[in-house]
Amino acid sequence: MKRKVNLLIFVISIISIGALNAQLVNNGGTIIVKDGATLHVDADLTNTTGTLQLEANSTLEVSGDFTSEVAASFDADANSLVKFFGSTSKNIKSGGDDFGNVLMAKDDTKDMSLVDDMTVTTNLDFTPANGNKLVIGANDLTFGAIADVTNNGTNRYIQADGAGVVKKNYTANGSFEFPIGDVTNYSPITANVTATAFGGSANLAVNVVDAVHPNKYTDAESYITRYWKAAGTDMNDWTATLTGTYTDADIVGTEANIKGANYIADWSFANAGADNALNIVTADISANSDFTGMNYYGKMASLKAFLQGAYSGSEMKTTLTTLPLGANDGDHFPDTSPYGTGETVASLPADVTDWIKIEMWDAVPATVTKSYSKFVKKNGDIVELDGTTPLKFKDAPSSSYIVLHHRNHLDIRTNATHDLSTNASFDFTTSANQANIYDEGWSNEPQKDLGSSIYGMWGGNANGNTNVRWNGPANDKGQLLNTILSGNTSNVLTSVYSDGDLNFDKKVRWNGPGNDKGYLLNTVLSGNTSTILKEHK
C-alpha cells in the first residue's frame, strides 16, 4: 500500500502520535510534524517536490529509505529528531537539507547509507544495544559547529573508508572526536583544532584508509596498516593535534616503536607520540596531510663536519673510496659500518670520504639512546647512505645532543640538545658555531682550526681512545708502530683501509714520503712530543 500526497495546496499537520504502515510519498504537499508530535512511517518516506517540516521537539520515525529530493524541502528544526529503525539496511537522501538530531536505532548489524551529502546540526546518536553504522561511501557527512555524536563505539560508528569525508564545522578553537572506521573496524580520530581566525566555511574533514600508507619509509619495520586523511578549510594559521585509534590487527613489528606521523611531501613527526596500551597515536598537523603510526624518525635538514686527517685545501680527500667495496678486512672500503651499528651498502655514492657515527645523547653525563652510521662527503655534509637524502634517525629521541665519532679522530658533541622533530641543522665546521660545541676546558680546543675560519675534528687517534699523544700510556705512536706496522719501521701497508692511515692516503707507513708518523707528530701535535690532545665530550 502506498500513501501519496500530490496536491500542491494539501497540508497535513500532525499534532499527535500517528502511524503510517505504508510508504509515504509527498508530491507537492506540505507535511508538518508539530512540536511534541511523532510521525511513524513503517516503510519508505519519499519527499519528491513537497515540503516536510519538523518543528522543535517533534519526531519522525522511518523504517525504510528516507528520500528528500533536491526539488523538495526538508525543514528540520535543530531540536527535532529523525529516528531510523527497522530490520533491514536502508538509504538516506537529504536533497541538500539539514537534519537536527538523528538517532540510529536499526536492528543489530543493519546500517543506513548516504545517497548524497548529509548535514547534522545538533546530534547523531547511536543506540547502545545495537550495532549500526552510518555508511557515507563517496558522500560527505557534515557536523555543525555545535553538533556532537553520542553512544558511538566499536560496532556503532560512521563508516568513512571511501571517497567521502566527515566534516566538523568550527567557529572557535575546540576538540571533536570523529567516530569513524572502515567496513569492519572502529578507528576514531580526535582533532583538537586551534586557529587565529575561522571563516564562514571553516571545517576539518577526515576519513580513514584500511591499508599501509603507500609512502611509508621502506626501512620502517614497525607501523600500522591504517591511515587517516585530514584537511582543513577556511582557518587561519591552524593546527590540529590528532589522536587516532588503531586496532590490534593493524600492528606490524614492535608496537612500542610506533609513534604518530603525518605525511605531505615527506614524513613529519611534530609532537609525535603514542599510548600503545590504548592503541593510540598522536601528532600535530598544520596543513592537509595523511596521518598514521610508524617508527619515529628524527630529522636533520643538514649536519656538517670535517676530518682533519682527510682535509686538504678546502675539502676532504676521497682516496679511501677508490678501494674496492667489500668486507671490512683492511683491503676493502667496508660495505658494512665499521662502528658496529649494522648499516650496509651495495654501492658507494659519489664524493664520499668515509663512514662516520652519530650518537644521540638524552643527558649529560652520557646516556646514549641511539647510534647511527652515515657517510661524510668531501664537502663535510653528513648524509644518508644513498649520498643525497637528508638525515633521518629511526627510533631516535625527539630531542638530543648530537655526538660525532670517527674511528681515528677525537669525538665532538653539541653543548645543547636539538629538536629532531623539526629538521634541525648544525654545522660543526664554522667559526661561529665553535661556541655551540661542548668544551670540557682542556688546554686544546674541541676542534682543530684548519685555517680560514674552518674547523675539523682532531685527527691522529690511531688507537681510537679519548686522546691523541706521542708518549705515555696508550699512545698513538706505539699503536701505529707496534700494533699496525708490527714494530717494523720499514713496513709499508698499501691500498688499505686502516685506522693507522692518519692522512687518508690509503697507506700506512713510518718512514718515507707522506708517512703517518710525521703526520701525527708534525701536523696533529705541531711537533711537540709532550702535547696531549683530549676529547671534549
- Confidence bin at 388 (pLDDT 50/70/90): confident
Contact 50, 5 (CB under 8 A): yes
What pLDDT, on the 0 to 100 scale, is given for residue 9?
Answer: 36
E strands in 127-237: 133-135, 141-143, 148-150, 157-159, 166-169, 174-178, 180-181, 189-194, 197-209, 223-224, 227-236
Helix (H) or strand (E) holding 516: helix 516-518
Listed residues 106, 126, 146: the one ending a domain: 126
Residue 138 is assigned to a structural domain of this protein = no
Does one domain contain both 291 and 302? no
Does one domain contain both 314 and 451? yes
Task: State pTM to two decimals.
Answer: 0.88
Residue 25 has pLDDT above 90, yes or no: yes
Does one domain contain both 67 and 113? yes
- Confidence bin at 7 (pLDDT 50/70/90): very low
What pLDDT, on the 0 to 100 scale, is given for residue 3?
Answer: 40
**Mean pLDDT value across residues 343-371:** 93
Burial 74-91 (b: 16+ CB within 10 A, else e): bebbbbbbbbbbbeeebb
Domain residues for the domain of 216 are 160-295
Residue 251 grid coordinates:
600492528
Residue 364 has pLDDT above 90, yes or no: no
What pLDDT, on the 0 to 100 scale, is given for residue 363?
Answer: 82
Listed residues 274, 295, 316: the one ending a domain: 295
What pLDDT, on the 0 to 100 scale, is given for residue 120?
Answer: 98
DSSP character at residue 280: E
**Mean pLDDT value across residues 87-101:** 98
What pLDDT, on the 0 to 100 scale, is given for residue 423?
Answer: 85
Residue pLDDT, tens place only, 159-209: 999 999 999 999 999 999 999 999 999 999 999 999 999 999 999 999 999
Does one domain contain both 393 and 487? no
Residue pLDDT, tens place only, 285-335: 999 999 999 999 999 999 999 999 999 999 999 999 999 999 999 999 999
Residue pLDDT, tens place only, 41-63: 999 999 999 999 999 999 999 99
Residue 24 has pLDDT above 60, yes or no: yes
Residue 289 is assigned to a structural domain of this protein = yes
What pLDDT, on the 0 to 100 scale, is given for residue 129?
Answer: 85
Does one domain contain both 423 and 517? no
**Mean pLDDT value across residues 241-246:** 98
Longest CA pairwise span in the chain (Å): 115
Residue 241 has pLDDT above 60, yes or no: yes
- Confidence bin at 21 (pLDDT 50/70/90): low
- Report H helices in 80-229: none
Residue 134 is assigned to a structural domain of this protein = no
3-state SS assignment for residue 274: strand
Residue 116 is assigned to a structural domain of this protein = yes
Residue 373: strand pairing partners:
357
CA dihedral for 409, 415, 419, 422, sign (positive or negative): negative
Please state, in angstroms and rounded to a whole number, the distance separating the CA atoms of residues 449 and 443. 14
Does one domain contain both 171 and 291? yes
Please state, in angstroms and rounded to a whole number, the distance separating the CA atoms of residues 102 and 59. 10
- Confidence bin at 389 (pLDDT 50/70/90): confident
Does one domain contain both 285 and 342? no
| Number of independent structural domains in the chain | 4
- Confidence bin at 10 (pLDDT 50/70/90): very low
What pLDDT, on the 0 to 100 scale, is given for residue 2?
Answer: 38
Please state, in angstroms and rounded to a whole number, the distance separating the CA atoms of residues 511 and 79. 95
Residue 331 is assigned to a structural domain of this protein = yes
Does one domain contain both 243 and 324? no
